Amino acid sequence: MSSTLLSSAQPFEFPPTYSFPPFFTPQPNAATRLSQLQKWSSLIQAWCRHHRLYRLSLVEAIESPLFYNASLRKRLSLAEARNVIDWMAKGEDGGGKRAEWIDGANKTIAWIWWRRPEEWASLVADWVENTGQKNVVLTVYELTQGETAMSQGMYTLAYGTAIGSGC
């Protein structure tokens, strides 16, 4: 998936809707469709958070358990996965800007904001304040890989996420 899945001590726990076959098929009713998109958004964010993924390659992920339920033999199509990420990338009329396409019109790789950029900024600012790092020059490495960041939520934060989505 664009970045290696980091193993977690606990296996990922899928929500109950993941075992419901219609979850993998676009729903025609507008209210049901909205609910479906919200559930997919939550699932994608939870998956990425659990595996500490910031970039999601749809081409790679489409074959993973995220989009393929082997026990049901049901999968989300690549086109539908793009639709979900498109919805997640929308502001008020969509998924609250929880995703952003990295590769423009190709729509194959996206940032997944399981924490929005402003939430990451707040986390970093709090860490800087709490560790007495204010007015100290820090590298991106120190913020995301350094010893003092190890116990923080930003530890292993992807480089591109840390310096901005325009990378």
Domains in the chain with CATH codes: 16-112 (1.10.10.570), 117-163 (1.10.10.10)
Report pLDDT digits (tens) over 97-141. 999 999 999 999 999 998 877 887 888 788 788 888 788 887 777
- Give the list of residues 6+ apart from residue 47 with CB closer than 8 angstroms, or none: 12, 53, 66
User: How would DSSP label each residue in 140-159?
Assistant: HHHHHTSGGGTTSTTTT--H
| Two tokens, residue 84 | 């979900």
pTM: 0.77
Question: How far apart are alpha carbons 69 and 58 in whole angstroms?
Answer: 16
pLDDT given at position 149: 58
Dist CA 119 CA 157 (whole Å): 13
Looking at the DSSP bridge assignments, the partners of residue 110 are: 56, 101
Residue 9 token pair: 């001590």
Count of CA atoms in the C-beta half-sphere (13 A) of 144:
15
Over residues 53-63, the pLDDT tens digits come to 989 999 999 99
- Spatial separation of the C-alpha atoms in residues 161 and 167, rounded to whole Å: 8
